[in-house]
Amino acid sequence: MTKNDQLADLAARAEGPLLLWGRSLQNFRQVCSLFPSSPFVGRAMGWAIAERPAGHVVELGAGTGAVTRQLLRHGVADEQLTLVEIDSQLGGHLRRSFPGMDVIIAPAQDLAELWRERDGPPVGAVVSTMPLRLFDEETILAIMRSSLAVLEPGGVFVQFTYRQRSPVPEHICDALGLAAEHYCRVWINLPPAGIWVYRKRPESAL
């Protein structure tokens, strides 16, 4: 066992930030962060979805729940929030941290199919802290298609990124008929984070 594996094994038995650190050591392209997002990122995302057309919100890549807590503080009720996390250890942590909340342990690109199977409620917003820019374009396209399929007309997809440019490439936005808006930059985060909002253009249809 390498030193990194030993450190990750120790962190996997922990909770919160140390758990995130351990999972990132083992699977950086999937977790992509050594630190949870600051509360200010969650607040900005809460503001970005304030005028969503339906109450229910889906959070992709919920991790240790840093953004989740801020969404709850900004008026999203427990029963209106579904958390999606691909990592089973982080998913277990979410279920312990938010007992009774709907937590799905699955890839984000499976959201639309799972939502149909569950007969899920109308969704007004999807928020994501997944590392989209580390994914290949086929995966980004699949995640965006799946997310858009569950959104009500007028719904929003809100994405967090450390980069300056849109985390969803322009040609994918064009292919899906999406308008991309740089909503704000959160400077009080390590590192500073950008919040992007994506909406279907009025003339577009799935």
pTM listed for this prediction = 0.82
pLDDT at 88: 92
Name the amino acid, one letter, at 136: D
How do the domains of the chain map onto residue ranges? 29-200
User: What number does CATH give the domain 29-200?
Assistant: 3.40.50.150
* DSSP run (H or E) holding 48: helix 39-48
Q: If the chain, 206 residues long, is cut into consecutive pieces of 10 residues, what is the mean pLDDT of each piece? A: 40 43 46 58 93 97 93 95 95 94 97 98 96 93 98 97 93 97 88 92 66
Question: Roughly what angle, to the nearest 10 degrees, separates helices 88-97 and 16-26?
Answer: 170
In contact, 147 and 111? CB cutoff 8 Å: yes
In contact, 148 and 176? CB cutoff 8 Å: yes
Retrieve residue 165's tokens. Answer: 């440019």
